[in-house]
Amino acid sequence: MNQPQQPDDMMPAIADVQSRRDDRDIAIDQVGIRGLRYPLMFVDADGVARSTVATCDVFVALPAEQKGTHMSRLVALLEDQLSASAEPLSVANFRRLLDDLVVRLGATSGRIAFAFPFFVRKTAPVSGVASLLDYEVRITGELDRGSYVHTLDVAAPVTSLCPCSKEISDYGAHSQRSVVRIVARPRAPLFIADLLRIGEEEASAELYGILKRADEKYVTERAYNNPRFVEDLVRNVAARLSGDARIAAFAVEAENFESIHNHSAFARIARGL
Amino acid sequence: MNQPQQPDDMMPAIADVQSRRDDRDIAIDQVGIRGLRYPLMFVDADGVARSTVATCDVFVALPAEQKGTHMSRLVALLEDQLSASAEPLSVANFRRLLDDLVVRLGATSGRIAFAFPFFVRKTAPVSGVASLLDYEVRITGELDRGSYVHTLDVAAPVTSLCPCSKEISDYGAHSQRSVVRIVARPRAPLFIADLLRIGEEEASAELYGILKRADEKYVTERAYNNPRFVEDLVRNVAARLSGDARIAAFAVEAENFESIHNHSAFARIARGL
Amino acid sequence: MNQPQQPDDMMPAIADVQSRRDDRDIAIDQVGIRGLRYPLMFVDADGVARSTVATCDVFVALPAEQKGTHMSRLVALLEDQLSASAEPLSVANFRRLLDDLVVRLGATSGRIAFAFPFFVRKTAPVSGVASLLDYEVRITGELDRGSYVHTLDVAAPVTSLCPCSKEISDYGAHSQRSVVRIVARPRAPLFIADLLRIGEEEASAELYGILKRADEKYVTERAYNNPRFVEDLVRNVAARLSGDARIAAFAVEAENFESIHNHSAFARIARGL
Amino acid sequence: MNQPQQPDDMMPAIADVQSRRDDRDIAIDQVGIRGLRYPLMFVDADGVARSTVATCDVFVALPAEQKGTHMSRLVALLEDQLSASAEPLSVANFRRLLDDLVVRLGATSGRIAFAFPFFVRKTAPVSGVASLLDYEVRITGELDRGSYVHTLDVAAPVTSLCPCSKEISDYGAHSQRSVVRIVARPRAPLFIADLLRIGEEEASAELYGILKRADEKYVTERAYNNPRFVEDLVRNVAARLSGDARIAAFAVEAENFESIHNHSAFARIARGL
């Protein structure tokens, strides 16, 4: 567990308190660093490496007999794995971080989570004007005695329009921004962009950075033609995810930032998570 | 400035570092405590004392020749002024905090700001069902060599419905939750509830905790009949505030959490602030 | 499920869209309101009812055949259960909310979570000066076909002082604010204050609103005499919780907002959660 | 003001509501988009272009006679000015955004603010190990009838160690993470990195991503040898900024996330802002 051979720990005059024996006989599930921000090159479905900034959690399991972990090695892992010379990160190669982690720390298991804004260039539905849209994304990998699982967690901001408001009103219907969050544990290759599209397609309408007037007319009418309760959002997404052979387990949540209340409407369906 | 006569500072064996002379010859505009949470009894227009929780900033000016302020006295002020036995706080008696502050610290000027959720019992427009709505409020008082000014800062969550979307679409119109924020410096007695009403009345519709179906029909149609750009929100509120003899200076901001974008539309008008 | 007998839903001209049949055959785990703020009277170990402001989530399970829930009834539950005339809420009587919830909605299961600041009057260790300290607390109750479980989630802000820094340095040792979070599922009566004390007692030192100079000397020296890694914090708390017969399952997390880094050190131990 | 010659607005069948005449006779100080996230290439003192993600506010003044601004053009400005083919942004060329803004919108004045994490590769003081540290930065440019001013706003996280705690305690002294925030209006070329260094150099110690044990000993002892009140932090930084010929006006704030309290100590000095 202790690695005195590492040059940067070879300062013999300085005590290595963390490596000492601990007598409380309590193993620690996760110990490490949380909330460290780091620039990240990430590549998804389109094969293009894009820059973003990740907020990183890096944890290992600590055996009962060891007093502490070596936090600086966890940051060093990020320095090495996310450097300009490293291959851009993807869902497919995320495991390389975990493999490196358990070796550096001599740990039996570890967990790494990166949360970052993910940008997609979208095309407005009528004018065809292109603009970026930002999404919150989180990738989590866990390696436990050689067994690896990873989880994708994406949040798609969308429009929801209330079916009740539409039906009972003589004109109009309240709409609002909503977030559809999908957490998926893949059993086959799966892209971030795939999950985001499912969330967007099942909403009353999807969002864009730029909408010209012809586009605004289109999305307004589309939302009015596709009213969705928060219940509809999670049911429709759940149906899509349940039928997707690439997905072993999932949870879907929708939150409507109600335009007629100062609280949210919320729904959640989980299957296997 | 130093007050060795205070019993709780009379521990002669312990050095009073803060009271020492400072030689840098730099006066400090504001020094004190920030972000301290405290229970608060507050009374507004309806005369009813209500409980809430404030996040408190308490600052004094520090003269060039003094090394530091005595932070514990600032917390003691809150303990005394906000205790169960103290008169409930109001906009009208907020100055008592400042008067006490400058005496306790021997300061020439001070500044206190309390931010807290403020609850109003509202009645749904058709059913008459009552429910609370929460608003973010901030009161700031400043006392400078005996001259006192205070500022009210309120945020009313409302519905906005887009005039452009309504006009160009064959049916429907996108709406969303918005916040109308009003900062006002009164020259005559003014209640928190007065400012919140102005913000709500100038929106496409106002929000409620509980809406039965007849109410939802009402607010949906009201919003459709009263489309407002973010520009309209701030202009209409500014017109109201400009014409209010109680208000010496103001700023109004509106932010629409657009339901068709993942960013906000924002507008601001300031007069005298 | 639909309750047409309720007067406020008896507006026959207005369609009840939520009560319609849904054909997708997908039950929803949780649906309801999120993030609604409400004033709360809460009583804990000392038997004193205190005012605070809760952020409330109220959810029910929705059967596959029903299109939507009736959100307004969830807010009405808060109006009734948290009104001035209602008995103050406590960990012991929290279940009353759940019992009411499933009846109002005709649901088989429900979940309610209230998060709120909780204030404890503490006495400074030497001077004896009293002041409030604020803690973040969350109570969650779940009722599933008559079976009730509840969870307490408390966060105690504390001081941590680094054992490594102390040992390797000729003088001084870096300290910082930390948060010890305890999530516990009780099997016997348990107070919020009990869990907070455990978190505070196992830290290098505990926090206070007011510390006079004699107190500051005391807590400084106490922290130096009790260095704790983030690993020590969670191990010591886990040992206490494991040995507490009132607790069926728990998780403890500690996060140190490191004063020598711009990220946190974090550790977690879960047993049965 | 209205620009019907722009192809993407040339959809004659669709009304241009925003361009209509407004009769309220109230000019709007700022109207536009807030909170839009966008990838950014930024270059500072070292001449290296680095990727980050900005949160963008883009506003124009709106004359009294115009009903609304054209929000989509503000996003289009970001699309064009921050695209991969555009020259990386810097403090020196930030004005190009404002010049483009007023032309696109036909406005007399505008304001653009970009807030983003800024990364500096630092070298640990003894081991020489390199690692990134993240800082929060904001650049604001304002153009008013051809007159341009810009403001830099940087936040350096640092260590503060309490002089009082050190002096009155037999051993140890409480330290904590603090943030030194500097807002500067330059009159001559000035880099982000310059301001951050001033904030770091005046603290008890500076932060690093990676510290080996020899480094931790160094920063612990350095902080103990350099105790600083929050008052000292702002005075020392103010003295540096006052004496810097490149700076026309400034404000400096320091906030200590006290390790012995659950609130912050705060101080502020402003000169000319």
How much is the pLDDT for C6?
A: 44
Domain that holds residue A162: 28-271
The partner residue sitting opposite B34, judged by closest CB among D18, D236, D263, is D263
DSSP labels, A182-239? EEEEESS---HHHHHHHHHHTSSEE--S---HHHHHHHHHHHHHS---HHHHHHHHHH
> In the structure, what pLDDT confidence band is assigned to residue A94 with cuts at 50, 70 and 90?
very high
CB contact under 8 A, A174 and B159: yes
CA nearest neighbour of C241 among C190, C204, C207: C190
Distance from CA of A218 to the nearest CA of C (A): 26
CB contact under 8 A, D262 and C133: yes
CA nearest neighbour of B228 among B171, B176, B152: B176
Q: Let me know if residue B101 belongs to a domain.
A: yes
For residues C152-177, average pLDDT: 98
Paired tokens of D88: 């990386």
User: What is the three-class DSSP state of A109?
Assistant: strand
Please state, for a pLDDT cut of 90, what percent of chain C lies above it.
93
Nearest CA in chain C to B84: C50
> Does residue A260 carry a pLDDT above 60?
yes
The partner residue sitting opposite D31, judged by closest CB among B163, B238, B267, is B267
CB contact under 8 A, B176 and A171: no
Q: What is the pLDDT of residues C178-196, one digit of tens each?
A: 999 999 999 999 999 999 9
Distance from CA of B212 to the nearest CA of C (A): 7
Distance from CA of D180 to the nearest CA of C (A): 13
In our burial notation (b when 16+ CB lie closer than 10 A, e otherwise), range D137-153 reads bbbbbbbeeeeebbbbb
DSSP labels, A6-29? SGGG--TTS--GGGSB--S---EE
> In the structure, what pLDDT confidence band is assigned to residue D13 with cuts at 50, 70 and 90?
confident
State which amino acid sits at residue D26.
Answer: I
Q: What is the spatial distance between Cα A33 and Cα A75, in angstroms, rounded to a whole number?
A: 8
> In the structure, what pLDDT confidence band is assigned to residue C13 with cuts at 50, 70 and 90?
confident
> In the structure, what pLDDT confidence band is assigned to residue C84 with cuts at 50, 70 and 90?
confident
Please state, for a pLDDT cut of 70, what percent of chain C lies above it.
96
> In the structure, what pLDDT confidence band is assigned to residue B132 with cuts at 50, 70 and 90?
very high
Minimum mean pLDDT range among A54-63, C17-26, D171-180: C17-26
For residues C31-46, average pLDDT: 97
Distance from CA of A251 to the nearest CA of D (A): 27
The DSSP secondary-structure symbol of B260 reads S
The partner residue sitting opposite D127, judged by closest CB among A8, A75, A117, is A8
Nearest CA in chain B to D31: B267
Nearest CA in chain A to B161: A174
The partner residue sitting opposite B263, judged by closest CB among D35, D267, D268, is D35
Q: What is the pLDDT of residues A188-232, one digit of tens each?
A: 999 999 999 999 999 999 999 999 999 999 999 999 999 999 999
Subunits with 3+ Cβ pairs within 8 Å of C are: A, B, D
- How many Cβ atoms are within 10 Å of A48's Cβ, its own excluded? 10
Name the region of D49 (left: φ>0; alpha: ψ -120 to 50; beta: rest): beta
CB contact under 8 A, A131 and D75: yes
User: What is the three-class DSSP state of A167?
Assistant: helix
How much is the pLDDT for A7?
A: 45
**CA-to-CA dists, residue A152 to A49, A137, C159, C213, D115, angstroms:** 18, 8, 35, 51, 28
DSSP labels, A223-261? HHHS---HHHHHHHHHHHHHT-TTEEEEEEEEEE--SSS
In our burial notation (b when 16+ CB lie closer than 10 A, e otherwise), range C29-60 reads bbbbbbbbbbbbbbbbbeeeebbbbbbbbbbb
Which positions in chain B touch C79 (Cβ < 8 Å)?
A: 130-132, 209-210
Q: What is the spatial distance between Cα B266 and Cα B205, in angstroms, rounded to a whole number?
A: 18
ipTM of the complex: 0.93
CA nearest neighbour of B272 among B235, B236, B229, B238: B238
How much is the pLDDT for C12?
A: 53
Nearest CA in chain C to D177: C259
Instruction: State the DSSP H helix or E strand holding residue C217, giving kind and residue range, or none if neither.
Output: helix C213-225
* DSSP strands (E only) in B90-204: 109-123, 130-144, 147-161, 175-186
How much is the pLDDT for A84?
A: 85
Paired tokens of D133: 């540290």
Q: Which of B71, B169, B255 is the best substitution to test chain D (most D C-beta atoms within 10 A)?
A: B71
How much is the pLDDT for D4?
A: 37
How much is the pLDDT for C222?
A: 98
The backbone torsions φ and ψ at residue A98, rounded to the nearest 5 degrees and listed phi first, read: -70, -40
CB contact under 8 A, A11 and D212: yes
Q: What is the pLDDT of residues B65-81, one digit of tens each?
A: 999 999 999 999 999 99
CB contact under 8 A, C39 and B16: no
Q: What is the pLDDT of residues B213-223, one digit of tens each?
A: 999 999 999 99
> Does residue B3 carry a pLDDT above 60?
no
Nearest CA in chain B to C209: B75
Paired tokens of C133: 């300290």
> Does residue D105 carry a pLDDT above 70?
yes
The partner residue sitting opposite C28, judged by closest CB among A71, A235, A265, is A235
How much is the pLDDT for C5?
A: 39
Angle between helix axes D95-105 and D71-81 (nearest 10 degrees) is: 140
Q: Let me know if residue D11 belongs to a domain.
A: no
User: What is the three-class DSSP state of D140?
Assistant: strand
The DSSP secondary-structure symbol of C88 reads P
CB contact under 8 A, D18 and B229: yes
For residues D73-100, average pLDDT: 96
**CA-to-CA dists, residue A124 to A15, A229, B164, B175, D6, angstroms:** 61, 25, 17, 19, 17
CB contact under 8 A, A53 and D52: yes
Q: Let me know if residue D19 belongs to a domain.
A: no
Q: What is the spatial distance between Cα C20 and Cα C67, in angstroms, rounded to a whole number?
A: 5
For residues A11-34, average pLDDT: 90
Q: What is the spatial distance between Cα B56 and Cα C55, in angstroms, rounded to a whole number?
A: 20
For residues C20-35, average pLDDT: 96
In our burial notation (b when 16+ CB lie closer than 10 A, e otherwise), range A97-112 reads bbebbbebbebbbbbb
Q: What is the spatial distance between Cα C207 and Cα C179, in angstroms, rounded to a whole number?
A: 11
The backbone torsions φ and ψ at residue A135, rounded to the nearest 5 degrees and listed phi first, read: -130, 150
Q: What is the spatial distance between Cα C16 and Cα C2, in angstroms, rounded to a whole number?
A: 9
β-pairing, B49-62 with C147-161? unpaired
CB pairs under 8 A between A and C: 140
For residues B48-56, average pLDDT: 96
Q: Let me know if residue B8 belongs to a domain.
A: no
Question: D8 CB contacts (<8 Å, ≥6 apart)?
Answer: A127, A129, A212, D72
> Does residue D7 carry a pLDDT above 60?
no
How much is the pLDDT for B12?
A: 53
Counting beta carbons within 10 angstroms of the beta carbon of residue C217, is it exposed (0 to 12), middle (13 to 18) or buried (19 or more)?
A: buried
Q: What is the spatial distance between Cα D225 and Cα C172, in angstroms, rounded to a whole number?
A: 9
> Does residue C39 carry a pLDDT above 90?
yes
Domain count for chain A:
1
Q: What is the spatial distance between Cα A226 and Cα A160, in angstroms, rounded to a whole number?
A: 9
Subunits with 3+ Cβ pairs within 8 Å of D are: A, B, C
Minimum mean pLDDT range among A80-84, A170-174, B239-243, D108-112: A80-84
> Does residue D60 carry a pLDDT above 90?
yes
The partner residue sitting opposite D26, judged by closest CB among B68, B167, B269, is B269
Which positions in chain C touch D233 (Cβ < 8 Å)?
A: none
Q: Which of A260, A263, A264 is the best substitution to test chain B (most B C-beta atoms within 10 A)?
A: A260
Tokens 């007050």, located at residue? B3
Which range of B23-27, D2-6, D15-19 scores highest in mean pLDDT? It is B23-27
Subunits with 3+ Cβ pairs within 8 Å of B are: A, C, D
Distance from CA of A121 to the nearest CA of B (A): 13
In our burial notation (b when 16+ CB lie closer than 10 A, e otherwise), range D173-185 reads bbbbbbbbbbbbb
Cα angle B61, B67, B70; round to 5: 65
CA nearest neighbour of C64 among B179, B175, A242: A242
Chain C residues in contact with chain D using a Cβ-Cβ cutoff of 8 Å: 133-134, 157, 159-162, 164-165, 168-177, 205, 207-209, 211, 213, 216-217, 219-221, 223-224, 257-263
How much is the pLDDT for B13?
A: 74
For residues A173-179, average pLDDT: 98
**CA-to-CA dists, residue D239 to D24, D222, D244, angstroms:** 48, 21, 9
CB contact under 8 A, A132 and D76: no
How much is the pLDDT for D90?
A: 98
For residues A129-139, average pLDDT: 98
Contacts 24+ apart (CB under 8 A), A197-202: A198/A237, A198/A240, A198/A241, A199/A154, A199/A155, A199/A156, A199/A158, A199/A237, A200/A156, A200/A158, A202/A228, A202/A232, A202/A233, A202/A236, A202/A237, A202/A240
Paired tokens of B33: 């405590």
Nearest CA in chain D to C155: D262
Paired tokens of C161: 């002082």
How much is the pLDDT for A13?
A: 74
**CA-to-CA dists, residue B9 to B72, B77, C214, C233, D24, angstroms:** 10, 15, 9, 33, 60
For residues D5-13, average pLDDT: 50
For residues C36-45, average pLDDT: 97
Paired tokens of D171: 């051993």
Q: What is the pLDDT of residues D260-270, one digit of tens each?
A: 999 999 999 99
Q: What is the spatial distance between Cα B61 and Cα B145, in angstroms, rounded to a whole number?
A: 11
How much is the pLDDT for D234?
A: 98
CB contact under 8 A, A31 and C59: no
Tokens 């003088």, located at residue? C171
Say which CATH number the domain at D200 has.
Answer: 3.10.270.10
> Does residue B115 carry a pLDDT above 80?
yes
> Does residue B95 carry a pLDDT above 80?
yes
> Does residue D6 carry a pLDDT above 80?
no
Q: What is the pLDDT of residues C102-147, one digit of tens each?
A: 999 999 999 999 999 999 999 999 999 999 999 999 999 999 999 9
For residues C10-34, average pLDDT: 88
Question: A171 CB contacts (<8 Å, ≥6 apart)?
Answer: B171, B221, B224
Q: Let me know if residue D14 belongs to a domain.
A: no
> Does residue C11 carry a pLDDT above 70?
no
> Does residue A179 carry a pLDDT above 50?
yes
What's the mean pLDDT when you consider all of chain D?
95
> Does residue C148 carry a pLDDT above 80?
yes
Straight-line distance from the first to the last Cα atom of chain D, in angstroms, rounded to the nearest whole number: 32
Distance from CA of B109 to the nearest CA of C (A): 22
Straight-line distance from the first to the last Cα atom of chain A, in angstroms, rounded to the nearest whole number: 32
Counting beta carbons within 10 angstroms of the beta carbon of residue A213, is it exposed (0 to 12), middle (13 to 18) or buried (19 or more)?
A: buried
For residues A127-144, average pLDDT: 98
Q: What is the spatial distance between Cα D146 and Cα D143, in angstroms, rounded to a whole number?
A: 6
Q: What is the pLDDT of residues A27-70, one digit of tens each?
A: 999 999 999 999 999 999 999 999 999 999 999 999 999 999 99
**CA-to-CA dists, residue C25 to A251, C28, C67, angstroms:** 17, 10, 10
Nearest CA in chain A to D70: A212
Q: Let me know if residue B3 belongs to a domain.
A: no
Paired tokens of C127: 């001077």
CB contact under 8 A, D229 and B269: no
> Does residue D137 carry a pLDDT above 90?
yes
Q: What is the spatial distance between Cα A133 and Cα A209, in angstroms, rounded to a whole number?
A: 6
Which positions in chain B touch C210 (Cβ < 8 Å)?
A: 72, 75-76, 79
Q: Let me know if residue D234 belongs to a domain.
A: yes
Minimum mean pLDDT range among B121-135, C2-16, D25-39: C2-16
DSSP labels, D18-82? GGSB--S---EEEEEEEEEEEEEEEE-TT--EEEEEEEEEEEEEE-TTB----HHHHHHHHHHHT
For residues A228-251, average pLDDT: 98
Q: Let me know if residue B4 belongs to a domain.
A: no
The partner residue sitting opposite C217, judged by closest CB among D159, D169, D224, is D169
Which positions in chain B touch A257 (Cβ < 8 Å)?
A: 176-177, 257
CB contact under 8 A, B168 and D14: yes
**CA-to-CA dists, residue C258 to B238, C161, C218, D203, angstroms:** 46, 10, 22, 15
Q: What is the spatial distance between Cα B35 and Cα B238, in angstroms, rounded to a whole number?
A: 31
Paired tokens of B18: 């803060």
CB contact under 8 A, B76 and C210: yes
